Amino acid sequence: MYKYNAFDEAFLAERNAQFRAQVARRVDGSLTEDEFKPLRLMNGVYLQLHAYMLRVAIPYGTLNSAQMRQLALLAEKWDKGYGHFTTRQNIQYNWPKLNDIPDMLDALGEVGLHAIQTSGNTIRNTTADHFAGAAADELTDPRPYAELIRQWSTDHPEFQFLGRKFKIGITGSPNDRAVVKAHDVGLRMVEQDGEIGFEVIVGGGLGRTPMVGKVIRDFLPQADLLPYLEAVLSVYNVLGRRDNKYKARIKITVQENGIEKIRELVEARFEERRGEFDGTDQELLAEIKTHFTPPALRSGSTEAYQAAYETDPVFRAWADTNLAEHRDSDHAIVTISIKAHGATPGDASAEQMRVMADLAQELGYDELRISHQQNVILPHVHKNDLPAIHARLKEASLATANIGLISDIIACPGMDYCALATARSIPVAQEIATRFDELKLEHDIGHLQIKISGCINACGHHHVAHIGILGLDRAGVENYQITLGGDATETAAIGTRTGPGFAYDEIVPAVERLVETYLAIRTGEEETFLETYRRLGMEPFKTALYPEAQKKVA
């Protein structure tokens, strides 16, 4: 993985020292909150409902064991013993004290982590496929490009005061696991005439005006990545609206000007910019790539795995849901669920972080990934080590076999933490997971994604969920709207609202009715919820959700 050089280290230390001084000046009164707020936001420090929150970037979702242990240390030393992994491959600490945050940032710096550009109207943490470097379907590892983007965008003077935040997502596989179509710019690796390049997608986003991104360039040679991104950003910087915060994202710029016009402008700007690049970026990329050489995978028999699979039903259930295909057939990709039934999605205790770090170090080539689904991944595991890993995960309450199932829910912090929330999302997720665990239906139901946001900002990705739940405030009480048919993959789609919302104590029964309906009308076990919805549309689900309305019509 990428290792900081002397320049990176000095830059980070300097940046942390600046922030320490800014905190001191706020505390002694030399800075007002209005002056301090943009400074703290640039360093990932938010003020939420009950406390400050520190958001730490996990660039392209990649961690080594030392970094994971450091995250555990922060949780224990300066927080309440846990951290919250988010959909944007960040970790959030919900309880730091302002005075402690400079120390936390220094501790992160020791292992090459930081909180820069995790907030503000800048280019945010570039997110990547969490199976990068390991997936069987991958053309090439996208992370060197993500690292190149990070180095180019960090403190880039032209892009520190964009009209709005700017998010880039990248995947090296045709199967999109990084939701690239819901990013301001999505990059999807494609192959053309034996050459690898990017399909560039622009103008995707969730929030109050959800949109699936549009292809602006079918094929961009990989060497042109930075000049092309500069062209996109520069066109956005000029055309993007600054008069209205809700119309400031590039998705609106694309919508208002049309993709053709944007494409024309970007291409023209690209011609200019390309000349300014003298090849240094390609030298840097070549250097970065040396940090991402794949681990030397060991070979050997997978008999122990086969034996456990055949004899231990608990192991088998876990293997069936939590393993993904590795490019090496003796290896597997392990997804560790940090969504035990009834627990807060995405939360891991310091102890659990250490267990995962140990496993990565001892049996996983020292690599860990964080997924936008709020789970942790061991990307390279020899199959014979799987039974041992499963056993140790079990001891740490980390062996829940629910990846891709109804209890593998994405939930934003919602009203339990977030100052912008209009309703809670975490307890809704907890109750849905608990309920379907009681019903013992989850494996029958199969692949089904529920995603919950506590307000229209859609941090919980509800628009691209098979069943999306949006918490609102209706006349001073929590009310939950349901959308169906969203899709977060390469066939991305925004879900459709079913109708009126449901009160807090009606939302779990409503989801149950949806699932019962699906089970009753699917053609068979192999037809997923999304496929059934696509085949039959909204009607059967509406009937199940609103029996009263149906009676009135009848």
Partner 1 sequence: MARPFTPKVITANDLIEGDVIYFKADDSWTRDLAEAELIVDEAEAQLRLLDAEKQNISIVGAYLADAKAGEHGPEPVHFREDFRRKGPSNYSHGKQEALANV
Please tell me whether residue 110 adopts helix, strand or coil conformation.
Answer: helix
Cβ neighbours for 78, distance < 8 A, ≥ 6 positions apart: 93, 96, 97, 100, 103, 104
Q: Which does 369 bind (CB under 5 to 8 A by kind): partner 1, ligand HEM, ligand SF4, none?
A: none
Indicate the burial class of 108 (C-beta count within 10 angstroms; 0-12, 13-18, 19 or more).
Answer: buried
At 245 the three-state DSSP class reads helix
Residue 206 touches ligand HEM, criterion: CB under 6 A? yes
224 binds, among partner 1, ligand HEM, ligand SF4, none (CB under 5 to 8 A by kind): none
Per-residue x/- track, 72-101, partner 1 (CB under 8 A): --------x-------------xxxxxx--
With a CB cutoff of 8 Å and minimum separation 6, the contacts of 379 are 131, 132, 133, 134, 326, 333, 364, 367, 368, 369
> Rule CB under 6 A: is residue 445 a binding residue for ligand HEM?
no
Q: Which of 2, 19, 36, 46 binds ligand HEM (CB under 6 A)?
A: 46
Binding region for ligand HEM (CB under 6 A) out of 101-109, 203-211, 464-472, 483-491: 203-211
Written as six digits, the tokens of 477 are 């009480």
The partner in contact with residue 47, picked from ligand HEM, ligand SF4, partner 1, none with C-beta cut-offs of 5 to 8 angstroms by kind, is partner 1
Considering the complex, what minimum distance in angstroms separates the CB of residue 44 from partner 1?
14
Return the DSSP state at 247: G
How far, in Å, CA of 128 to CA of 18, rounded?
A: 30
CA–CA gap between residue 524 and residue 43 (Å, rounded): 51
Q: Which two tokens stand for residue 265?
A: 């402008």
Contact with ligand HEM (CB under 6 A) among 420, 439, 441, 519: 420
**Which span (60-68, 317-325, 393-401, 414-422) binds ligand HEM, by CB under 6 A?**
414-422
Closest residue by Cα to residue 100 from 72, 128, 75: 75
User: What does 454 bind: ligand SF4, ligand HEM, partner 1, none (CB cut-off 5 to 8 Å by kind)?
Assistant: ligand SF4
Shortest distance (Å) from residue 406 CB to ligand HEM: 19
Say which entry of ligand HEM, ligand SF4, partner 1, none residue 88 contacts (CB below 5 to 8 A, set by partner kind).
ligand HEM
Q: Which residues bind ligand SF4 (CB under 6 A)?
A: 412-414, 418, 420-421, 453-455, 457-460
Binding status of residue 188 toward ligand HEM by CB under 6 A = no
Contact at 8 Å (CB) between 366 and 285?
Answer: no
Strand-pair partners of 467: 450, 484
135: β partners: 326
Task: Find the helix packing angle between 386-395 and 303-311, rounded to 10°.
Answer: 50
Residues 182 and 201: beta-carbon distance below 8 Å: no
**397, 427, 457, 540: which one binds partner 1 (CB under 8 A):** 427
Among residues 3, 5, 10, 50, which is the contact residue for partner 1, using CB under 8 A? Answer: 50
User: By rule CB under 8 A, what string of x and - marks binding of each residue 321-360 to partner 1?
Assistant: -----------------------x----------------
The footprint of ligand HEM (CB under 6 A) covers: 46, 48, 53, 86-88, 92, 164, 167, 205-207, 249, 412-413, 417-418, 420, 457-459, 461
